[in-house]
Amino acid sequence: MLSEGFELLEKYGIKIPKYWVNEIPLHSSFPLVIKADLNHKTDLGAVKLNIQNYSELKKYYEEFRKKFNTNIIIQEQVIGEFNEVIIGIKYDKIFGDICLIGIGGIYTELLKDFIILSLPFDINILERRLRDLKLYPMLNGYRNRPKVNINLLYENIIKLYELYKKEKLLEIEVNPLLINERESYAVDIRFVRQ
């Protein structure tokens, strides 16, 4: 499902790191990330970051093949300073299509720092509502952290909403979207078809 999700993201113009499914790439740059195609990868020990060489990659690949009965994904690790954002879209019986945006990554469920907006919305609403996040200063350059480019974040939301609508999904979530002032990468995705 992860590889299908990456294909969908690429189809709709959402940038992702280069990846391979069930194979060890022979000509890639390090560091790499390896992950099993499961939800809650971190909790299950199904993701390993910062792999620096082929022998380490081969070791983890073989370990993951034995331990997890699913596809194994290898990705180029995104290098640089980024914020981690979650974007989720689904249908709500009362409000229609809604979008959850917040602090992403492995602490999403712990922090529970997000906003929910009815779709569609314009960039001014997004910019105004992001200030409601407790950790908004992190997204705005706190202590020399990279600022989030609001235009780029909005562009990713619009593309994800287009994907959601055209592919007739029940829900979709990108977590995390790595984003700074210049670029963004969707490094993980989950979705449910109708």
Give per-residue pLDDT as tens, 28-74.
999 999 999 998 898 899 999 999 999 999 999 999 999 999 999 99
Start-to-end CA distance of the chain, whole Å, equals 15
Query: Are residue 43 and residue 96 in the same domain, yes or no?
Result: no
| Planar angle of CA 59, 62, 67, nearest 5 degrees | 120
* CATH number of 118's domain: 3.30.470.20
Strand partners, 5: none
| Domain contains 161 | yes
Strand partners, 92: 96
Same domain, 117 and 164: yes
Question: pTM for the complete prediction?
Answer: 0.95
- Between CA 183 and CA 167 the distance in angstroms is 25
Domains identified in the chain, total number: 2
The domain boundary, picked from 58, 76, 94, lies at 76
Q: Among residues 39, 60, 76, which one ends one of the domains?
A: 76
Proportion of the chain above pLDDT 70, given as a percent: 100
- Residue 5 in domain: no
Cα angle 160, 162, 165; round to 5:
110
Q: What is the mean pLDDT of the chain?
A: 96
**Residue 97 and residue 189 in one domain:** yes
Domain closes at, from 54, 76, 98: 76
**Alpha carbon distances (Å) from 189 to 37, 93, 106, 128:** 10, 24, 13, 26
pLDDT the model gives residue 109: 87
Domain residues for the domain of 71 are 18-76
Which of 68, 75, 63 is closest to 37 using CA atoms? 68
The answer on 64 and 138 residing in a single domain is no
| 109 and 187 belong to one structural domain | yes
CATH number, domain containing residue 43 = 3.30.1490.20
d(CA 180, CA 118): 25
Least trusted range by pLDDT, from 31-45, 84-98, 163-177: 31-45
SS (HEC) of 7-25: HHHHHCCCCCCCEEECCCC
Based on the fold, state whether residues 63 and 152 are members of the same structural domain. no
